[in-house]
Structure 1
Amino acid sequence: MNFFIGTALASGTNTPLQENPYSLIMMLVFLGLIFYFMILRPQQKRAKDHKKLMDSISKGDEVLTTGGLIGRVTKIIENYYIIIALNDTTEVMIKRDFVASILPKGTIKAL
């Protein structure tokens, strides 16, 4: 019958575990640091890089949008919208936020 009841419970001693009172605080700080370095910091870096990319868009740049359109910037409207020429006759107005990357010069002609 000894295998059903653990020896610690059967002994009848009620000694609480001796634990460091700061261990919970140290564990929460450690988890907070992991959360910061694994999630928050990389996201802030990506947002900063994307903002820098949006600020560097100028007329004549060849861009790739998040929707997959490739075109040349023909006009910038009030720092929020840009007009992209997809070919000689088609122009599209998009928000500046939807530019995924600036392509090297001559990319459109190479396609």
Structure 2
Amino acid sequence: MFFPEVAYAMAPPAGGDGGAGGALGALMPLILMFVIFYFLLIRPQQKKQKQHREMLSALKKGDKVLTGGGIYGRIVEVDGDVLRVDIGNDMVVEINRNFVSNMADRAPKDAGKGNKK
């Protein structure tokens, strides 16, 4: 049996190029998501990395720093990528410049002192 109503309903629409508009419409949500991710995640992270690189390149003798291991200290000598950092009681350690996580405006008040109770 042949049902002309069903054949008409399954036939592609007459006239017009529906493929190009459909492809662009299908990609639009992906493009929009990428733009949102770029401005909310990627761009701020790139700015933060740039500021950190600038801070690392500007390190000099006498700066107070916080290392990646959580140790506060003062730079006593800079030799390329190697920093000699005084961490208290005339104890000097050598660290790589890349392991400085931040500049320390001031060390904790009880830094270098034992826990006296």
Secondary structure, aligned partner of 2:10: coil
Q: Which of the numbers 25, 47, 68 marks the counterpart of 2:70? A: 68
Cα distance between partner residues in 1 of 2:77 and 2:109:
23
- The unaligned stretches of length 5 or more in structure 2 are 111-117
Shift of 1:31: 1.6
Cα distance between partner residues in 1 of 2:53 and 2:12:
55
Which deviates the most, 52-61 or 25-34? 25-34
Taking structure 1 as the reference length, the TM-score comes to: 0.73
| Cα RMSD for the two superposed structures | 2.3
Which structure is larger by alpha-carbon Rg, 1 or 2?
2
Question: Does 2:51 match 1:49?
Answer: yes
Report Cα offsets for 1:16-74 as digits up to 9, x if no partner.
Answer: 69784221232222121022112211210110110111122110111111211011101
Cα distance between partner residues in 2 of 1:98 and 1:69:
11
In structure 2, the CA distance between the partners of 1:57 and 1:30, relative to structure 1 (3 Å rule), is same
1:1-111 superposed matches below 5 A: 12=6, 13-14=9-10, 20-21=21-22, 22-78=24-80, 80-104=81-105, 107-108=106-107, 110-111=109-110
Taking structure 2 as the reference length, the TM-score comes to: 0.70
Identity %: 30
- The unaligned stretches of length 5 or more in structure 1 are 1-10
